[in-house]
Amino acid sequence: MLYPVFFKLEGRCVSLIGGGKLAAEKLRGLNGTGASIKIIAPELSDETRFWMEKLNCRWIAGNFEPCMLTGSCLVIAATDDEFVNNEVRVAAQTRGIPVNVADRNELCDWYNGSVVSRGDFLLAFSSNGKSPAYLSWMREQLDTLIPSDEDKFIAELGEIREKMKIFGLTPAQRSAWFREKFTELQKSL
């Protein structure tokens, strides 16, 4: 079973090894995280170059060397070369850095989930690496069901929560109040 987390990447280094289609997909997933991304690859596809420029990534043009992972909090191996992907995996694990090897679930410490996002509202879900195609389809379905202004509702709830803290309500009291209001909301629908 997986332990779902939301990793704060703002200003932290993520190393991405690879410059092709898989790398471009991983960069697209990192969009909006604020990560400081380092791409290590001899060459970049046009799509990877597009994302590199959009996300202001640093490109190290050359072959992977284990010392290139220094300072990384996450590592992504996204090459078409199994030997290189395994070398990246071993180097990351030796350094205690969580690694994702694209399209090789058995070599991953973590997976990318599918995400529906509306500002601070973020819904992520996983198939435990078993069916990315199903997750993509499910994301499209959920994307049509979740209101486009859901982030405004979340912001309002955040303001209410902060006021409750100021008034000294305990986490249990806040939770009970919100549960009651959400039950009322559900009944009104």
Burial of residue 83 (CB within 10 Å: 0-12, 13-18, 19+) is: exposed
Residue 121 — very low, low, confident or very high, per pLDDT cuts 50/70/90?
Answer: confident
Q: Phi/psi of residue 99, each to 5°?
A: -130, 145
Mean pLDDT, range 108-115, rounded to an integer: 86
Residue 63 — very low, low, confident or very high, per pLDDT cuts 50/70/90?
Answer: very high
CATH 3.30.160 residue ranges of the chain are 113-146
Residue 28 — very low, low, confident or very high, per pLDDT cuts 50/70/90?
Answer: very high
- C-alpha 8/C-alpha 3 separation (Å) is 16
CATH 3.40.50.720 residue ranges of the chain are 13-112
| CATH class of the domain at 113-146 | alpha beta
- Give the pLDDT confidence score for residue 131 in this predicted structure: 85
- 13-112 classified as CATH 3.40.50.720: yes
- Rounded to two decimals, the pTM is 0.82
pLDDT for residue 27 is more than 90: yes
Mean pLDDT, range 159-175, rounded to an integer: 93
pLDDT for residue 144 is more than 70: yes
- Give the pLDDT confidence score for residue 189 in this predicted structure: 65
- Give the pLDDT confidence score for residue 186 in this predicted structure: 75
pLDDT for residue 85 is more than 90: yes
